[in-house]
Amino acid sequence: MTDVFARLESFGDRFRLQRGLTPGDDWIACERLLDPWSDELKQVLDAERRASGQVSDHATALTVMAVYAGTVTAAAMLAWAVEGAVIDMRPENVAIRLSPHHGFEAVGLRDPKVTDASVTTLVEWVLDEHLLPLAQAMRVRTRAGLRQLQGGVAHGCAAAFCIASRRGGDVDKLESAYETFLSTATGGLDRLGSVVRLTEGDRSGLFYLRNTCCLYYTSAEQVKCSSCCLDSVEDRIANYRRMLADGVVPH
């Protein structure tokens, strides 16, 4: 178990999971976020709107969905891809701490349970019981488009494979793992974007091409994500090739 968590941390802070949570230490139970009218979901949306200066409730929800899937549950994706292990990231076992900045300050597990299980279990625990119900809750609360919310889910799940491929992970293994995950995934994730493999010199990596928009460009930062569907596929790939040549990876 310790080796799995240490391996995750070797890929960067995004994949760090805190264990041994202290009750009342500003942790928000993720299971409460599945209730569209909970105070906890309001706290998450309000924190992101303040941090990024978003212009509307629905734009905030789309931004939160993408960053949530790309950070909160990303460790489960990576653990399965590189170790063949499934971390229990069902919502009742996960908690988050809010940040004054875009994203979340920390992700924690109540019980650091790791099992040898198939991709089917990964999909059930992370998608069917966690991310897709969260997308539905945010749809009810903010009226953000469900397809766009699920596009954030798809993007966030792919991020684990893509980032690891540029942080020393086995690109062949990660690409194969992503294809296996996508073939099993529910929620129509295969229609919401695609992963491409690029090579520049001696560097190879996986990159995501979104078919939906998280509207982060409407925030106070007024910047588009590198995967933004508002840019052409050709422009995104050209940008990705520059990033790969320069050795740039997301933090």
For the chain, domains (ranges, CATH) are 2-189 (1.10.510)
State the CB neighbour count (10 A cutoff) for residue 116: 9
* Amino acid in the structure at residue 222: Q
DSSP sequence for 37-94: T-HHHHHHHHHHHHHHT-SSHHHHHHHHHHHHHHHTTHHHHHHHHHHSEEE---GGGE
| Predicted confidence (pLDDT) per residue in 2-12, tens digit | 589 999 999 99
140 neighbors 45 (Cβ within 8 angstroms): no
| Predicted confidence (pLDDT) per residue in 124-142, tens digit | 999 999 999 999 999 999 9
Q: What's the pLDDT score for residue 148? A: 93
- Taking residues 184-210, report their average pLDDT: 94
State the CB neighbour count (10 A cutoff) for residue 188: 12
